[in-house]
Amino acid sequence: MNQQAGHTVKAFDDEMSEIRGMISDMGARAEAAVEAAMKALRTNDIDNARIVVAGDKAIDAIETAVERRVVQTIALRAPMADDLRDLVAALKMSGVIERIGDYAKNIAKRVGSLEGHGFLDGNEQLFRMADIGGEMVRMAMEAYARRDIDMARAVCIRDDDVDLIHKELFVDFIAHVAKHPTDATEIAHLLSISKNLERIGDHATTCAEMVYFSQTGRSLGDEMDG
């Protein structure tokens, strides 16, 4: 940190450690929520789906706490350069992880809406998307904890798999509705679930990009496009 007294440096490090802990907690909760929502969907477990929905409030509360702590730290410490990037990344990531929790909640709310399980049983790719998305969230959080930019890159590359599955499912679902219009409501639910999973992948990628930015000051997206 730039020319600050030793006790101030330690104070900032302690505050940053607290913020990092909250971000890690949020990430773990969001990953668990995605897994639990998909498990409830597969087994049509409405009770566990309700637990996922209720649990989202805890993720929201941590996001609020992170925002408050980051603003307080910026105001008290006036951080520069690397320290400021760490705080900006944490602030961005808290909002992004909160959205991942929202997507898991949205999926959980669909539990019980599908009249039969034929649609789910015939679409293992939907659960494959969820597995990859959950893995991406976990990897992004590990990259954050380790400050590992190579792992952050790996998360971004993995998102291509999620996008591809989503596109394939979209085509399959639309083709099914064209042949079986009476199934439109069921397919609409599956399309919504697929879209939520695709967005989870996107948001895990954003977290990884924030890890890269915090460590390098550069945009990972620009690097990968180039």
Look up the CATH number of the domain holding residue 61: 1.20.58.220
Q: Which position has the higher pLDDT, 222 or 203?
A: 203
Tokens (6 digits) for 27:
């990430």
The domain in which residue 59 lies consists of 6-225
Over the stretch 34-89, which tens digit does the pLDDT of each residue have? 999 999 998 889 999 999 999 999 999 999 999 999 999 999 888 888 899 999 99
The whole-number pLDDT of residue 6 equals 43
Under a CB-based contact definition with an 8 Å cutoff, are residues 203 and 100 in contact? yes
* 167 in a structural domain: yes
The whole-number pLDDT of residue 115 equals 63
* 116 in a structural domain: yes
Under a CB-based contact definition with an 8 Å cutoff, are residues 194 and 129 in contact? yes
The whole-number pLDDT of residue 59 equals 98
Give the sign of the dihedral formed by CA 151, CA 208, CA 76, CA 18.
Answer: negative
Return d(Cα 106, Cα 97) in angstroms, integer: 14
> By CB neighbour count within 10 A (0-12 exposed, 13-18 middle, 19+ buried), where does 72 fall?
exposed
Return d(Cα 10, Cα 222) in angstroms, integer: 34
Return d(Cα 140, Cα 213) in angstroms, integer: 13
Over the stretch 15-36, which tens digit does the pLDDT of each residue have? 999 999 999 999 999 999 999 9
Over the stretch 140-192, which tens digit does the pLDDT of each residue have? 999 999 999 999 999 999 999 999 999 999 999 899 889 989 888 888 999 99
* 93 in a structural domain: yes
Q: How many CB atoms lie within 10 A of CB 35?
A: 18
* 94 in a structural domain: yes
Return d(Cα 225, Cα 153) in angstroms, integer: 12
Over the stretch 95-143, which tens digit does the pLDDT of each residue have? 999 999 999 999 999 998 876 556 666 678 999 999 999 999 999 999 9
Place of tokens 């808290």: 94
Residues shown for the chain: 226
Per the structure, how many domains does the chain have?
Answer: 1
* 23 in a structural domain: yes
* 146 in a structural domain: yes
* 1 in a structural domain: no
Name the residue among 157, 54, 147, 63 with its Cα closest to residue 109: 54
- Name the pTM for this structure: 0.91
Return d(Cα 94, Cα 87) in angstroms, integer: 11
* 18 in a structural domain: yes
The whole-number pLDDT of residue 119 equals 65
